[in-house]
Amino acid sequence: MLQVKNLSKTYPNGVQALKDVSLNIGNGMFGLLGPNGAGKSTLMRTIATLQDADSGSITFDGIDVMKQKHELRKVLGYLPQEFGVYPKVTAEEMLHYIARLKGIDNARERKELVNALLKQVNLINHKNKFLGGYSGGMKQRFGIAQALIGNPKLIIVDEPTAGLDPAERLRFNNLLSEIGENIVVILSTHIVDDVSELCNDMAIIASGQVVQCGNPEALVADMRDRIWSKRIKKDEVAAYQQQYNVILSKLSAGDVVIHVLSDQDPGSGFAAERVSLEDIYFSNIA
């Protein structure tokens, strides 16, 4: 169990990135959803011991993360948002190097581990290829391989599918699902579908604060019969925003489809809309 209590962080430029954030995260995939600049990466870096908070506490399986950073790092796997690679090093060579850094000195044991990881992330046939020649999706899968070295109990992945094409995104998400069954995996993203498809628990963070948390299906069920949609002209959007609680608007065949949050039928041609996690997300950050 990862417990985050009353975590706050303000940068020297005055930006308050985290405001009294508290979360309890158990085994399985946990989605941290929010727009760019919401504070997700700051929270992930703080949990990963890469920066300090101003106040609050983090504990993981009896480890005081703020005071026992080295102990947390022994059980942590981390894939940051910006994952750089050495372009003239092969995947096999790099994994051997990282494994040695993590204390795996036995050459035979290390070779077996590296080959097993490359098979797990479907890169075994590309193990002798320079990392600089990897596609975006291959680099992300390599990033997961390095994060898995040492059998971590906590894995953090920050915006892992941003920029991936649909096929690579699917491969990566399938890989996350496989590894996220018996350990704590935190998926930080702004892609709603990733959380909907992968996570059994989630939180929405906006402006440095947790504004909603729970099981995605339960959150959707709680909002049932409260979302209404209507197709309108582009020049009507502003008027509808003044009159109704418009949480979402999207272009559709030259018109705009709006979603309105209301406990009662708004009338005026609105139709009941099937609730999605996207509605939950936009109702909390609007």
What does the pLDDT look like over 176-198, one tens digit per residue?
A: 888 877 899 999 988 898 898 88
Q: Who wins on pLDDT, 225 or 168? A: 225
Confidence of residue 99 (pLDDT cuts 50, 70, 90): very high
**Cα Rg for the chain, rounded, in angstroms?**
21
- Asked if pLDDT for residue 208 goes beyond 90, the answer is yes
User: Predicted confidence band at 102 (pLDDT cuts at 50, 70, 90)?
Assistant: confident
How do 16-25 and 2-10 pair as beta strands?
antiparallel
Residue ranges of alpha helices (H) inside 53-199 are 69-74, 91-101, 107-120, 136-148, 166-179, 192-198
Is the pLDDT assigned to residue 168 strictly greater than 90? no
Portion of the chain with pLDDT greater than 70, in percent:
100
Q: Which range is most confident: 81-90, 133-142, 153-162, 245-254?
A: 245-254
For residues 253 and 248, what is the distance between their CA atoms, to the nearest angstrom? 16
Q: Which one-letter DSSP state was computed for residue 90? A: B
Flag whether pLDDT at 82 surpasses 80. no
Q: What percent of the chain has pLDDT over 90?
A: 71
The letter for the amino acid at 266 is P
Q: What is the mean pLDDT of residues 126-149?
A: 89
* pLDDT of 79: 87
C-alpha pair distances (Å), 170 with each of 42, 124, 138, 156, 197: 26, 19, 12, 19, 10
Q: Which residues pair with 231 in a beta bridge?
A: 257
DSSP 264: S
CB-CB contact of 71 with 63 (8 Å): yes
Using pLDDT thresholds of 50, 70 and 90, give the confidence band for residue 266. Answer: very high
Average pLDDT value for residue range 129-145: 89
For the entire predicted model, the pTM comes to 0.87
Three-class SS state of 277 = helix
Query: Side chain identity at 83, as an amino acid letter?
Result: F
Question: Residue 58 — very low, low, confident or very high, per pLDDT cuts 50/70/90?
Answer: very high
Mean model confidence pLDDT for the chain = 92
- How far from 30 is each of 90, 194, 251, CA to CA, in Å? 32, 11, 31
Handedness of CA 168, 173, 179, 184 (dihedral sign): positive
Q: How confident is residue 42, by pLDDT bands cut at 50, 70 and 90?
A: very high
Question: In this predicted structure, what is the pLDDT of residue 123?
Answer: 92
Question: Comparing C-alpha atoms, which of 62, 21, 74, 64 is closest to residue 44?
Answer: 21
DSSP output for 204-251? EEETTEEEEEE-HHHHHHHTTT-EEEEEE-GGGHHHHHHHS-EEEEEE
Please list, in sequence order, all residues whose beta carbon lies within 8 angstroms of the beta carbon of residue 284, skipping any fewer than 6 positions away.
204, 206, 211, 212
